[in-house]
Each structure stands twice: as C-alpha cells, then as structure tokens.
Structure 1
Amino acid sequence: MNTRTLQIRFTLAAGLLMGTLMLALATPPVRAAEPDDEAVRARAVMADLLRIPGPAGMQETYRTPIHGVDHWISIRGQDRANPVVLFVHGGPASPSMPSLWQWQRPLEEYFTMVHYDQRGAGKTYREDHSDALAGTLRIQTYVDDLVAIAEHLRAKLGQDKLVLMAHSWGTIPAMRAALARPDLFHAYVGIGQVIDVRENERISLQFGLDEARRRGDREALREMEALLPYPGNEPITRERIVAARKWPQRYGGMAAFRDETNPWYYGAARLSPDYDDEDRAAINAGSLFTLDRLLDEYVQVDFSDVRRFPIPVVMLMGRHDYTTPSQPTADWLQHVDAPAKRGVWFERSAHMVPWEEPGKMLVTMLEVVRPLVRE
C-alpha cells in the first residue's frame, strides 16, 4: 500500500469519526436534556465507532498491580499478531488514554497500541494517591513501573519485544528504561523528546523573546525580560517554568499556529469512552499531586552525554516545538551511536505531534518504525 493510499484512508477515517461525532452532538435528545446529556450521547457514539469487532482484534481497558499500585492499561488493535507499541504518556500525570481517540484509530490497523496511566495519573491516581504513594514519586520508580508493565505485556500478548514510544515527560523514564533493558524493545520512538531540561528552558524563553520583539508585544517582553537570565543559576521552580512558558506557548510553541489553551486536547476526556466524570477530575488532581514532587529531579535531567544507544532510535520532532525544543534532539541524533537512527521532522507541528499531524504519524510509523521490528 503506497503512502498516497494510506493518507486517503486516514482522511476518510478521520472524517467519519468527526462527522459521526458532530451528528451525535447535533441530534435532538429524545428526553429532557440533563446538564451533560450531549456529552453522554457523544461518548456512546464514540464507544460504538471505536469498538473493535473482529475476532482477531483486541480491546481491553483493565487494571493490574505493578509494584503495589493498581495501574490502568488500555490495549487496542485489530490483529493480535501485529507489533505491540507501548506508549508512555507525558505530564507528569497527563494521561494519553482519554485523548487517544483523536489520533490512534488508523494505527490500530497495523499495531497493537498500549497506553497506561502512570502512578499518580488519571485512573491510576484514583486507585492510590496516599501519602505513602507520594513518597515513591521518583523518576526511577517510573522506570521500574515501565519495565514491569513491558514484562506484563510480553506475557499477556505473547510477544518477546515491544516498540517503546514516549511523549514529553514520558521520554525521560522511557529513555532510561531503554538504556537499562534493551532486551525488551525492538526500537525506541521519542516524541517531544527531552534531552537537556535546562537547555530546553533557555531555548524556549529565547523563542518567546524573539517572537515578542517581532510582534512588538510590549507586555510579553516586559514579563519575559523580568525572568532574565533564565534559567540562570537560580532554582527552576514551578512558578518560574509557568512564567517562562506562558508566552512561548501562546505563540504556538505547544501546538503550532495555535495559542496555549488547546481546548481540543484538554477537553478530549469529555468525549472519551474510557473516562468517567471522576476519572476526568483525577487528571488535574494527579498533576497537582505529582509535579512538585518530581520537579527537582526533572530539572536536572540531561541525556546529552549519552553517546551510545543500544536499540534503534527514531525521533519525531515538531518543527515549532518550544515546549521541549527539537533542536537539541536533532543535535543529539547527529552524535549518538545506535544500531539504527532516524529523525523525522513534522513541519506543521509543535509539541503535540500525534495530535497535530496524525496522517504523517501513521505513514512514519509504517515506513520508518515498523521495518525495525524483528521477528
């Protein structure tokens, strides 16, 4: 199947999904509407449209204990024999499960796609957000959880190796897991890859300053110049990060050519068949629960000295990403020694590559990543 055919199939699938969704929202209710009645009906349509009916397929959302915490896992794919992709979400505590309906369906024809809500995130946060759990929130714990989930999936799905894919924050535990346990993975795919947090912060603010000067935005310049030198020698606190990212994200550094509000992403959980009202409330609660506890470790992350990578590595890089800027990733790829390596630029994307260019995402996974899977 050629690339043009794949793009046409994706466009038709995406059109069907959004057209059906809009029809559900527009159809008058058959009874008096409750406050959230339209969303309830839309979720029912989504659940039916996303259902995988074929006998070779797999569609499960379940919880399983991992290092003392019940983790929620989603497995979806039309053929159990397809390669397995384990997706590690960003955040911390920004689960991908409630928004996977926006971009994943075409990939499920060619891969078995697995997502999990990390400890302190989403549905898993609801299982345990005790003080005892709070004391475990360290990067290495997330690495250990990821490795255990990979082992669990090997046994459950009967495949010796998986494709490891990660986004944003998730690239940190995923990179460490790939370095520690390369025997578990065919390849590593990084999206919004973190290489050097401090350098990312510097580049992000510089983009904001340059863009503000270009636009003549005096308010933005005043706010950003007050942060200089950034990050400098001061601690990178949550407050400083929020202030530094305000304008770069408003100028399209989170989602290209959009401001930072991104209601299409942050509102995705309202239409997710996998998330109920309490799950949706847990997204913000989990973020507050985890971020401050991980921040000190997070700001020290630096993979720039990693010069050998034990498995094939593919980096999907948004040209306009100024949340985790892509240039350090491209520079790292130039110098790393790996069995295979490839950088793919997404010219219409910033930080949210799968959501911003899902068609190119599908083609890249088929043309670049799937050939790396070895039987």
Structure 2
Amino acid sequence: MKQTVLKTFIQALIIGMVFSACTSTKKIKTSSGISEINYLEINERKQYVLIRGKDINNPILLFLHGGPGASATALLRKFNHELEDDFTVVYWDQRGSGKSFSKHITKEEITVENYIQDLEWLVGYLKTRFEKEKVFLVGHSWGSRLGMYAIQRNPENYTAFVGIGQELHAYRGELLSYQYTLEKAEEMGHKKALKELEEMGPPQSGQYKDMYATGFWGVVRQKHWLLKLGGERYQKTNYTDWILSIWFSREYSFADLIKYGKGSAFSAGNIILDEKFNDIDFFKEIPTVEVPVYFISGAYDYNTPWELVKEYVEHMTAPHKEFILFEKSGHSPVFEEPEKFNDEIRRIFKANN
C-alpha cells in the first residue's frame, strides 16, 4: 500500500515538473555578452522577448515569426543560434503567440494594426536601450508581411529587411497554392485529396468559400494537403521534428508547448476577421520601399509561391533588391537550410554596412 502511494506521488511529481518546469536560457559567458528573458509591457500586453548575443555592442537583429501565432523562438535557437556571434538577436513571441499567449487576450485585439504598433514599440525600445540608430529586420511568412508594413511606415529605423517566404497577394498567392496542390493530387492519384480539393473549389479573392462558415477550415484543409503533397517542406510531409524541437527547447516547457498550440489556433483563427489581413496586394500597396530588401524563397514553397515573390522583386523599386532561391527548401529556408541561411544573413548585413 505504501509503495503504491509512493509510486503515485512520484508520478504526480514528475508530471507536475514537466508541466510547470521553469525555463531558462543558456548564459553567454563573454564579458560583454547578453542572455536575458524579458516580459515587456508592449501596448498593455505582456509579451515575451528573449535577447541573446556574444557582444552587446553588435548590431541588433530582430526576427518576426510567422502565423500569426507561430512563435519561432525555439526553432531559431536550435537552427540559427550561430547568428548570436555576430548580432544581438531579439526573439519575440508576438501578441497571443507562444509564451506571450494569455487567456485574457481578446479576439478583437488580434488585428494587423495592433501587431504593427507592437512592432513599432519594440523597435523603439531596442534602439533606445542599445543606443542604435537602426535595426536589421528579418521576417518569415506572416512576419514577412509585418516587416514590409514596418519598413514602409518607418524606413529610417531599419538597416535592411529580409523577407522569407514573403506574403504578397491574397488572391494570386492562394490561387497558385491551390492549383499546385490540385495538380500534385492529380499527378499522384491521391483520391481523398482530389475529392476534398474539388469540393472546396479554388479560393475566391484569396478566401475559400467555407472560411467564414467554419472559421478557417478551408485554408487549413488546403494547407494540410499542400504539406502532404510536397509544397510546404522539402522532402518532409509533417512537422513532427519541429514540434519535438519546441518541446525539448531549453527556453520552452511542455506547458509552453500547449500554450503554443492554443496561441497559434487563437491568433490564426481570429486574424482572418480583420479585413486588412485578407485584402493584401503589395504589388499595388507597396510598389516602392526606401530600405534595401532581400527575399529568400524555397524552390518547394507553394505556401507563398516563389514565382510570385520573384515577380514582385522584378516589379518593385528599392535602393537595393535581391531574390534568393534556396534549392532544398520549402516555406522555411531559415530552418530547412540553416547554415546557408545564416551565411546569407551575414552577407546581407555586411553589404549594407
């Protein structure tokens, strides 16, 4: 009896430790290094900001993750931590994302404008604290869209901008993505995918016909088949390895992984109610920028089709612009070819300083 009680107690203790374990970040031991976890009050919401770098005097690199709601902190720490040698890297879990998720956040505040204002606040904070005139801005997927809004509004704040899996055009982007998925389903003879995709039909003005009837089910189903049919990741058809990377991250606990899932669903499910999120056409809205821009796409990216990104680069005007194609990547070259990506980031920054 005593052994049973003891065993139950130990099991409960282990489960409790897994769920509520304190997270930390590995200390950087250089004399001028920085490794700190912050919860900053950004526009009345506490938001998680991790800052790391071997020399506090290095330039600031601010990364904008995708989603909205898909924090990239754990993956960046695993795949791109070498950038901390050259930059003071700022990892930010945006409003409602990852460790910034809270049950007190309302669906009404998940808007494009709020994310832009949060970013502007954070950039101002970083410039003041580290006494820098400019920030090197990098954005992935949704974060690439957020980054474009930022450099359009306040170009004086940024050294350069790197967009990864750049979002550009709601209608054309989703249509190309749908057509690619349908063609692959036909090519592979995947009957279930074909049935669902044909029933769903192509997106109308960037939206699927049942999007508002059932949340964002239409786009979720299309992206499900896109991943399964090879248009999201290079030679992979799931996210299991990345989920495990988040779970076993030093900065994230298992409880944080649960928050990650809740925040991702909450943010993505509510941002579509914002008209500004759905009606996007950077060919018309942002044909010109005053900051050097670099767009990195994967050759297997049909989430934000790389052909459309290349076309935009040819169309737009900027002090300097480049389209860079990673041959062994899908939508996330930053994590799929990290060494090549890290080298590109160093090259790009050097070219602008």
* Same structural fold, with TM-score higher than 0.5 when normalized by the shorter chain: yes
- Deviation track 1:193-236 (CA, whole Å, cap 9, x = no partner) reads 10012211111111112212222222222221222233368657
Kindly indicate whether residue 152 of structure 2 is the aligned counterpart of residue 179 of structure 1. Answer: yes
* AA partner of residue 182 (structure 1): P
- Please give the alpha-carbon distance, in whole angstroms, between the structure 1 residues aligned to 2:339 and 2:145: 26
Deviates more, 1:208-217 or 1:88-97: 208-217
Contact 2:168 2:282 in 1 (8 A): yes
- Please give the alpha-carbon distance, in whole angstroms, between the structure 2 residues aligned to 1:294 and 1:35: 38
- Please give the alpha-carbon distance, in whole angstroms, between the structure 2 residues aligned to 1:85 and 1:370: 13
Which residue of 249, 258, 264 maps to 1:281? 258
Per-residue deviation at 1:278?
2.8
- Deviation track 1:345-371 (CA, whole Å, cap 9, x = no partner) reads 111000111110001101111222332
Which residue of 212, 219, 240 maps to 2:185? 212
* AA partner of residue 249 (structure 1): L
Partner of 1:105: 81
Contact 2:66 2:141 in 1 (8 A): yes
CA 351–35 in structure 1, closer or farther in 2 if over 3 Å, else same: farther
Partner of 1:318: 298
Partner of 2:4: none
- Please give the alpha-carbon distance, in whole angstroms, between the structure 2 residues aligned to 1:180 and 1:36: 49
| SS of match in other structure, 2:246 | helix
Per-residue deviation at 1:33?
8.8
Partner of 1:304: 283
- Deviation track 1:13-32 (CA, whole Å, cap 9, x = no partner) reads xxxxxxxxxxxxxxxxxxx9
Which residue of 97, 113, 120 maps to 1:121? 97
Contact 1:315 1:342 in 2 (8 A): yes
- Please give the alpha-carbon distance, in whole angstroms, between the structure 2 residues aligned to 1:326 and 1:35: 49
Which residue of 173, 184, 204 maps to 1:231? 204
- Please give the alpha-carbon distance, in whole angstroms, between the structure 2 residues aligned to 1:356 and 1:160: 32
- Please give the alpha-carbon distance, in whole angstroms, between the structure 1 residues aligned to 2:305 and 2:129: 36
Per-residue deviation at 1:135?
2.1
Contact 2:70 2:260 in 1 (8 A): yes
- Please give the alpha-carbon distance, in whole angstroms, between the structure 2 residues aligned to 1:304 and 1:74: 34
| SS of match in other structure, 2:309 | helix
Partner of 1:342: 322
- Please give the alpha-carbon distance, in whole angstroms, between the structure 1 residues aligned to 2:341 and 2:41: 32
Structure 1 stretches (4+) deviating beyond 4 angstroms? 32-37, 232-236
Deviates more, 1:280-289 or 1:354-363: 280-289
Q: Where do 1:35-50 residues align within 5 Å?
A: 50=26
| SS of match in other structure, 2:129 | helix
Per-residue deviation at 1:292?
2.5
Kindly indicate whether residue 58 of structure 2 is the aligned counterpart of residue 82 of structure 1. Answer: yes
- Deviation track 1:302-326 (CA, whole Å, cap 9, x = no partner) reads 2121221110001111111111212
Q: How many residues align?
A: 333
Kindly indicate whether residue 305 of structure 2 is the aligned counterpart of residue 331 of structure 1. Answer: no
Which residue of 16, 36, 45 maps to 1:69? 45
Contact 2:65 2:141 in 1 (8 A): yes
Partner of 1:23: none
- Please give the alpha-carbon distance, in whole angstroms, between the structure 1 residues aligned to 2:281 and 2:144: 12
* AA partner of residue 244 (structure 1): Q
Contact 1:120 1:290 in 2 (8 A): yes
Task: Give the gaps of 5 or more residues in structure 1.
Answer: 1-31
- Please give the alpha-carbon distance, in whole angstroms, between the structure 1 residues aligned to 2:62 and 2:101: 20
Which residue of 233, 242, 245 maps to 1:255? 233
Partner of 2:104: 130
| SS of match in other structure, 2:172 | helix
- Please give the alpha-carbon distance, in whole angstroms, between the structure 2 residues aligned to 1:159 and 1:352: 29
Per-residue deviation at 1:246?
2.0
- Please give the alpha-carbon distance, in whole angstroms, between the structure 1 residues aligned to 2:171 and 2:235: 25
Partner of 1:169: 142
Per-residue deviation at 1:53?
1.1
| SS of match in other structure, 2:200 | coil
Kindly indicate whether residue 129 of structure 2 is the aligned counterpart of residue 156 of structure 1. Answer: yes
Deviates more, 1:215-224 or 1:342-351: 215-224
Partner of 1:196: 169
CA 236–157 in structure 1, closer or farther in 2 if over 3 Å, else same: farther
Partner of 2:118: 145
* AA partner of residue 89 (structure 1): H
Contact 1:316 1:344 in 2 (8 A): yes
- Please give the alpha-carbon distance, in whole angstroms, between the structure 2 residues aligned to 1:234 and 1:205: 10
